[in-house]
């Protein structure tokens, strides 16, 4: 198993941040065929070999993925897509990310 965790601060309203989170889930679904759904302000997703969540908070967003063995080959690509999307939609990181 391998985990990817990225946290990013944002200056958006909750509504805009949730919309951006929905967009990243749709992109991951398109790329990796994920099933996802909202539970409050947390968007949970899964597919064979991947489980995770994207939590939207007032001042930050956090995505956490757990990759199974067969998805390890895609780890770099998945992580890069997340960073690129977060840069584009939540702003570039001002400091080290988790």
Put simply, whether the predicted model's pTM sits higher than 0.85 gets the answer no
**Domain span including residue 79:** 2-89
**pLDDT tens string 37-93:** 999 999 998 988 889 999 999 999 999 999 999 889 989 988 998 899 888 888 776
Confidence tier at 98 by pLDDT (50, 70, 90): very low
How confident is the model over 10-27, as a mean pLDDT?
89
Q: Is residue 95 part of a domain?
A: no
Instruction: Report the CATH number that the domain containing residue 85 is assigned in CATH.
Output: 3.30.310.80
Q: Is residue 8 part of a domain?
A: yes
Q: Is residue 35 part of a domain?
A: yes
Q: Is residue 50 part of a domain?
A: yes
Q: Is residue 60 part of a domain?
A: yes
Greatest alpha-carbon pair distance for the chain in Å reads 37
Q: Is residue 7 part of a domain?
A: yes
The number of folded domains in the chain is 1
């Amino acid at each position: 198993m391998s985990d990817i965790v990225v946290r990013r601060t944002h200056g958006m309203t909750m509504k805009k941040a949730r919309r951006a989170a929905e967009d990243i889930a749709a992109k991951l679904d398109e790329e990796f065929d994920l099933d996802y759904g909202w539970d409050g302000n947390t968007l949970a997703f899964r597919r064979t070999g991947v489980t995770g969540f994207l939590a939207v908070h007032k001042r930050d967003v956090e995505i956490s993925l757990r990759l199974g063995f067969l998805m390890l080959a895609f780890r770099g690509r998945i992580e890069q897509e997340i960073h690129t999307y977060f840069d584009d939609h939540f702003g570039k990181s001002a400091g080290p990310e988790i």
